[in-house]
């Protein structure tokens, strides 16, 4: 359980963003979820922009830590990508934060404040960079085969996985995510 009030506020914002998007929640919603007054939220996060930037920054930091952990613990680059997909599959199957908030916010990008848009872009730059380096290593390792350039394949993989999240949500079908993500992995896998 999270004891720090600022962390509880940030985590509630994360969940509300995932459920409703940027424009679908207010500080009143956060206050109700966390069980505090709106003034307390403003004490920690003076504006909604500050709060969403904090949620995205924390979210990206978790991604960086998880990617580094996979890089350290899993020798086969293809297996790293598979574990990344399995993480999302479990989240979607269990309805536990079943969508990437950076992906969700990217759909609102034209209307978002500049600081939030910048954080969304940083998230995708990091993720695509990690996928690209994982693909490069997988080609050397012999577990990954690329049909197109490293850049195109990395962008395609990220787009397929995140698009699968949206399709699964839109159609209420967690299994749809699984089949699309499996296709994304299958097209990269080299049978040696």
The answer to whether residue 192 is domain-embedded is no
d(CA 40, CA 140): 52
1 pLDDT higher than 50:
no
Domains held by the chain: number: 1
The answer to whether residue 163 is domain-embedded is yes
Contacts of 186 (CB under 8 A, 6+ apart): none
Q: Residue 32 maps to which CATH number?
A: 1.10.357.10
191 pLDDT higher than 80:
no
Residue showing tokens 């199957």 = 93
pTM: predicted TM-score of the whole model, two decimal places: 0.94
Q: For 103-147, how does the pLDDT look when each residue is reduced to its tens digit (9 = 90+)? A: 999 999 999 999 999 999 999 999 999 999 999 999 999 999 999
The answer to whether residue 120 is domain-embedded is yes
The answer to whether residue 49 is domain-embedded is yes
The answer to whether residue 31 is domain-embedded is yes
Q: Which domain holds residue 122?
A: 5-186
142: region left, alpha or beta (phi > 0 left; psi from -120 to 50 alpha): left
The answer to whether residue 191 is domain-embedded is no
């Amino acid at each position: 359980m999270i004891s720090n009030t600022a962390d509880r506020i940030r985590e509630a914002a994360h969940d509300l963003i995932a459920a409703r998007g940027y424009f679908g929640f207010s500080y009143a919603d956060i206050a109700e979820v966390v069980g505090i007054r709106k003034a307390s939220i403003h004490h920690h996060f003076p504006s909604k922009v500050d709060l969403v930037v904090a949620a995205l920054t924390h979210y990206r930091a978790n991604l960086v830590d998880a990617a580094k952990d996979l890089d350290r613990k899993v020798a086969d680059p293809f297996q790293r990508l598979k574990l990344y997909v399995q993480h999302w599959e479990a989240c979607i199957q269990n309805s536990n934060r079943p969508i990437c908030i950076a992906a969700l916010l990217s759909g609102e990008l034209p209307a978002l404040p500049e600081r939030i848009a910048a954080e969304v872009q940083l998230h995708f730059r990091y993720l695509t960079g990690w996928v690209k380096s994982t693909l490069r290593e997988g080609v050397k390792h012999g577990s990954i085969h690329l049909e197109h350039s490293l850049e195109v394949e990395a962008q395609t993989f990220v787009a397929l996985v995140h698009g699968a999240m949206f399709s699964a949500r839109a159609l209420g079908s967690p299994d749809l995510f699984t089949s699309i993500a499996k296709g994304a992995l299958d097209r990269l896998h080299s049978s040696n």
